């Protein structure tokens, strides 16, 4: 055996990681995101009355409220009964991410990680839609000039921030 020979079986990524190892190392990160997201949604549901109260989370920056959103950002499609559309979209996206990782389409660890984090956020919101029929959103920007911004949750943060980083 010479230097640089890969001893793993199966497909190897351009970074030298086996695809199984790349996917396997992402699982704990995905689980941590899902646990944090679901725990915060549970805490919010138990401690903040629906549509009525706000608590300061980061004073003068972010408040916590309790909103049930059956649509997308800004409540888009909330009255269209789009629950199953969003569930199907999340399932298709998860399958696409797994296929992209398995086939080493995404080059570089950073890109793969960002895609996995977007997927984790999508799964978090999908779980809400499957279980409750809506997504629990809780973070709202406190400054008055940002009150127009939609209320969001931990899953939304991963979807948005990691999605932007993936595109960059």
Which residue numbers are catalytic? 137, 156
Could you tell me if 149 and 74 are in contact, meaning their C-beta atoms sit under 8 angstroms apart?
Answer: no
Token pair listed for 131 = 């279980």
CA distance 120 to 27: 9
Name the helix (H) or strand (E) containing 110: helix 109-132
Four-CA torsion 149, 154, 157, 158, nearest 10 degrees: -160
Beta strands in the chain (DSSP E): 55-58, 62-69, 135-141
Starting at the edge strand that comes first in sequence, how are the strands of the sheet with 55-58 ordered? 55-58, 62-69, 135-141
């Amino acid at each position: 055996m010479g230097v640089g020979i890969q001893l793993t079986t199966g497909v190897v990524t351009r970074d030298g990681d086996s695809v199984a190892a790349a996917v396997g190392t992402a699982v704990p990160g995905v689980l941590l995101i899902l646990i944090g997201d679901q725990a915060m949604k549970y805490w919010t549901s138990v401690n903040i009355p629906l549509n009525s109260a706000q608590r300061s989370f980061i004073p003068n920056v972010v408040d916590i409220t309790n909103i049930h959103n059956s649509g997308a950002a800004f409540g888009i499609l909330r009255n269209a009964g789009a629950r199953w559309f969003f569930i199907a979209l999340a399932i298709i996206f998860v399958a696409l991410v797994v296929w992209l990782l398995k086939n080493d389409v995404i080059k570089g660890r950073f890109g793969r990680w960002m895609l996995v984090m977007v997927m984790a956020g999508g799964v978090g919101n999908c779980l809400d839609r499957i279980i409750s029929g809506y997504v629990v959103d809780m973070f709202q920007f406190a400054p008055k000039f940002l009150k127009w911004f939609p209320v969001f949750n931990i899953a939304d943060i991963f979807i948005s921030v990691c999605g932007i980083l993936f595109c960059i």
